[in-house]
């Protein structure tokens, strides 16, 4: 019997999940996971930064902000041929989804026209497409959908209460509005957050509650572990206990049983045992390749070696679509 999808989680229920004994929590999450997915199948995506740096936002975790002194330099949008070539390389390495990130507050009309052409080119390779481009208007969302964009990523980052400690240049409601525009355009939603930014357990619980109480759960939920970058305000923060990260993965799986839960940024610093526990807890999607936008990511061959040890197989585009249906 499959778990019933819920959109009415109460704060005390979510905190109750976080407070379960670790083994009980993982057993419950793994049981839910097996009801809805192949427990040994993991979706593989590759993320390419197609326009790096120079962002006017002040997200305290991000080295791409023009407000911080980091090693990231501002670049223009990559040309179509270079992006398509990277997508082909990703496909050849086993990725089924190609994600494109641009460091904008929001794209302009001319950017949307260029991106529409790029999306069509990536789709022609037989890959799923995803983009994260900042805030979207309803018209821009509709144009990206018409070009064939499958997923749009726009993270909430943290709880609404803690959000103002991390970002001042756009509101929580701005992010929710973009997600509504994406959903109304008929695209799949990719939305999660970042843990380890100095937030409390209650903030992690509220982030997941906001996601799970949406009218429709995000099809993809990336859970990022903060990668501290020198020059950003969050550099030097006390690192989150890895067991709290695994708990967050497990609670996300229980609350959003049909969503892909992505083990995202921060994986470079995790040992194989931690990653294995995350997969057991319900993580069934990863990014691989050399970089996650501007931070290091495990190399593809290391991931394949780990998959071999764990008996995990990469999901194809068709299998990913079937799981998400």
d(CA 275, CA 306): 9
For residue 156, the model assigns a pLDDT of 95
For residue 223, which phi and psi values (nearest 5 degrees)?
-110, 110
The pLDDT confidence band at residue 293, using thresholds 50, 70 and 90, is very low
Q: Which residues are catalytic?
A: 55, 59, 62, 99, 130, 190, 262
Residue-wise pLDDT for 189-199, tens only, equals 999 999 999 99
- pTM greater than the 0.85 cutoff: yes
E-assigned strands of 140-229?
151-153, 188-190, 193-195, 220-225
Interval 48-102: pLDDT, tens: 888 876 676 777 777 666 666 666 666 788 889 999 998 998 888 778 888 898 8
Average pLDDT of span 146-171: 92
pLDDT at residue 281 above 90? yes
How confident is the model at residue 291, as a pLDDT?
A: 47
The per-residue pLDDT for 268 is 81
Cα four-point dihedral sign 141, 161, 244, 230:
positive
Nearest C-alpha neighbor of 309 from the set 284, 262, 275, 267: 275
In this prediction, what percent of the chain has a pLDDT beyond 70? Answer: 88
């Amino acid at each position: 019997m499959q778990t019933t999808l819920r959109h009415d989680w109460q704060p005390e229920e979510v905190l109750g999940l976080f407070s379960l004994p670790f083994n009980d929590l993982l057993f419950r999450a793994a049981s839910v996971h097996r009801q809805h997915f192949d427990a040994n199948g993991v979706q593989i995506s590759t993320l390419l930064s197609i326009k790096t740096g120079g962002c006017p936002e002040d997200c305290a975790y991000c080295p791409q902000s023009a407000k911080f002194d980091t090693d990231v330099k501002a670049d223009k949008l990559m040309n179509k041929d270079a992006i398509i070539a990277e997508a082909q390389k990703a496909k050849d390495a086993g990725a089924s989804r190609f994600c494109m990130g641009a460091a904008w507050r929001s794209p302009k009309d001319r950017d949307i026209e260029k991106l529409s052409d790029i999306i069509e080119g990536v789709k022609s390779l037989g890959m799923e497409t995803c983009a994260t481009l900042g805030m979207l208007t309803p018209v821009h969302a509709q144009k990206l959908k018409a070009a064939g964009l499958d997923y749009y990523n726009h993270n909430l980052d943290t709880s609404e209460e803690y959000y103002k400690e991390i970002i001042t240049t756009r509101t929580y409601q701005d992010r929710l509005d973009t997600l509504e525009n994406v959903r109304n355009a008929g695209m799949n939603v990719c939305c999660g957050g970042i843990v380890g930014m100095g937030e409390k357990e209650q903030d992690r619980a509220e982030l997941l509650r906001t996601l799970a109480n949406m009218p429709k759960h995000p099809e993809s939920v990336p859970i990022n572990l903060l990668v501290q970058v020198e020059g950003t305000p969050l550099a030097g923060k006390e690192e989150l206990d890895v067991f709290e990260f695994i708990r967050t993965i497990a609670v996300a799986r229980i609350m959003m049983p049909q969503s892909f839960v992505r083990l995202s940024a921060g994986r470079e610093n995790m040992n194989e045992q931690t990653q294995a526990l995350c997969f057991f807890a319900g993580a069934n999607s990863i990014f691989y390749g050399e970089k996650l936008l501007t931070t290091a990511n495990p190399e593809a061959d290391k991931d394949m070696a780990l998959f071999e040890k764990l008996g995990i197989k990469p999901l194809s585009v068709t299998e990913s679509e079937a799981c998400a249906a």
